[in-house]
Copies of this chain bind each other. A is one copy, B any other.
Amino acid sequence: MVTKQFNGSSGDDVDLRRADSLAREIFSDVANKWALLIIEALGERTLRFSELRNEVEGISHKMLTQNLRMLERNGLAERKAHPTVPPRVEYTLTEPGRALRGTVDLICGWTHRYLGHIEGARRRFDT
């Protein structure tokens, strides 16, 4: 483990390792239930915090802010705060976010397509 730091790895090697761990990190951020549901809910629309809270069924206040921060940090969603009172904060997907949304749509489509199939498999397994 530690020895790897001294085995004369090239600069390219280091870059690859870093890119890999970064990719893995992003994958972990994104491959999570709430993040994907938020992205799906946003779609092409611009929604307020409270609207999102209603759209994403079952999400808690905390999880929503937490995931929105994460999406914003990774540049998948844009946060626009209007300096009014009461405050009004709107969220929109960025281009990378919209690109990812396409894949989420596919997963949703997949889910509905194989719903019956999966239900049957479960019944068979649970015996």
Residues of A within 8 A of B (CB): 19, 22-24, 26-28, 30-33, 36-37, 57, 72-76, 96, 99-100, 102-103, 106-108, 110-115, 117-122, 124-126
On chain B, the residues within 8 Å of A115 by CB distance are 19, 22-23, 26
Q: Is the CB of A36 within 8 A of B26?
A: no
State the copy count for this chain.
2
Contact residues of A: prevailing secondary structure: helix
- A selection of 25 A-B contacts at a CB cut-off of 8 Å is A19-B115, A22-B119, A23-B111, A24-B57, A26-B111, A26-B118, A27-B33, A27-B36, A27-B37, A31-B32, A31-B36, A32-B32, A32-B33, A72-B125, A73-B121, A74-B118, A75-B117, A75-B120, A75-B121, A75-B124, A75-B125, A76-B118, A96-B110, A96-B114, A103-B110
